[in-house]
């Protein structure tokens, strides 16, 4: 079974990203939205950790990426809201890290 993990909190204000990464299975995916998109700031510890994870299926809401003036790394994929819905359908479960 696969899980889509959805994070919306900044990785610089709490440890949800670290907790999520510890639980990710090989079939799971991670979607960054809201302030969680800041995890893609180049040169930061969260960005380096995400980039170093081999095989990570990482998505970010395109709207949130643009709103924060961030560039999309080559190892991540931007999705729109219909893409978010499609990811939710493709996975057996959705876990939102509130």
Q: What is the mean pLDDT of each run of 10 residues along the chain (98 residues)?
A: 97 96 96 98 97 96 98 98 98 97
Is the whole-model pTM more than 0.85?
A: yes
The reported pLDDT for the residue numbered 12 is 97
The reported pLDDT for the residue numbered 10 is 97
49 Rama class: left (phi>0) / alpha (psi -120 to 50) / beta: alpha
Element (H, E) at 95: strand 93-97
Separation of first and last alpha carbons in the chain? 22
The reported pLDDT for the residue numbered 24 is 96
């Amino acid at each position: 079974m696969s899980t889509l993990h959805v994070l919306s909190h900044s990785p610089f204000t709490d440890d949800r990203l670290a907790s999520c990464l510890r639980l990710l299975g090989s079939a799971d995916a991670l979607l960054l939205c809201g302030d969680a998109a800041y995890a893609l700031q180049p040169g930061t510890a969260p960005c380096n950790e995400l980039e170093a994870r081999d095989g990570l299926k990482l998505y970010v809401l395109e709207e949130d990426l643009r709103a924060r003036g961030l560039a999309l790394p080559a190892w991540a994929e931007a999705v729109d809201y219909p893409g978010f819905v499609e990811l939710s359908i493709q996975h057996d479960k959705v876990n939102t890290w509130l």
